[in-house]
Amino acid sequence: MTEQALDTNSPDSAMAEPEKKETLGSFLWFVAKLVIAVLIFRSFIFSPFTIPSESMLPNLRNGDYLVAAKWPYGFSRYSLPGSPALFEGRVLAHLPERGDVAIFKHPVTGADYVKRVIGLPGDTVAVKDGVVILNGEALQREDAGSIDIPMSANTGCRRDGGAVVDGDRCRYHQFRETLPSGKSYMTLDFGTVGPRFLTDGSGGIALDRNGLPLRIDPDNTAPVVVPEGKLFMMGDNRDNSLDSRYPAVPDGGVGLVDADLLIGRASRVLWSSDGSVEWIKPWTWFTAARWDRIGSDI
């Protein structure tokens, strides 16, 4: 049997499909499908967030880029990019578990905040001498020694909290806190910090009902019963976190957080930078990376 050459003049070759050419319309359709896929992924599956403060030390650090799972708590308008007012409430709503690190919107400004869920609806939460009292019982709190956190362009050292500078590292005292469920995590405690004057969101001192300066001692708070649909949130850096111990004001405390403001559950650190990146110097993209934090679980 011999191979036969293809006759380009045969009827069969004339019936061959013509080569498809890329058109502007097909390219735009591809881009539209890509945008739709990204929006679906970010709205309902995972979405990236950054850590802009030290309120969650030692577990999350300023400069961490993390991913949050969107489905565990259900979906609201805040699940969508831009938070469009398409509907109210939550679809497939589920409450967080105590100990979850949750991303949510600030009740006043709508900015993204990250804190740990300590109290669920019906819980009574108080703080006494720096120890969290949950439903009348003190949470287990064990001395866990010290932790050294590298200082960098975006991470300083709070010496007023008893921290010690050792070269380029800041040494804090840490504790392991354990919830009734058995879930545990590290916290920082600066010791007794005393009452603090609260701002009113415009830089002035907030006043109470009697016109006197409003002060709150974060180490000693009165018992609060968490209402239905609300959550009591705290930062792991207990003396450097404006959370549910403080009233909700712009750029300040968050008060008791409405569950409808939840965005997602923090899942994993995707990237971490020490703040020394210069975008016009590509090599700093690598030298600024905290490689030991990339991929760490939350």
Contacts made by residues 13-19, CB under 8 angstroms, sequence distance 24+: none
Q: Which residues contact 74 (CB under 8 A, 6 or more apart)?
A: 90, 91, 92, 93, 94, 262
Q: Which of 47, 55, 76, 273 is catalytic?
A: 55
Residue 295 · residue 268 · CB < 8 Å: yes
Annotated active-site residue in 70, 105, 115, 230: 115
Q: How many Å is the Cα radius of gyration of the chain?
A: 26
Residue 55 is a catalytic residue: yes
Cα separation, 88 vs 68, whole angstroms: 22
Whether residue 10 lies in the annotated active site: no
Hey, what's the torsion of the CAs at 59, 62, 67, 73, to 10 degrees? Answer: 70
Catalytic residues: 55, 115
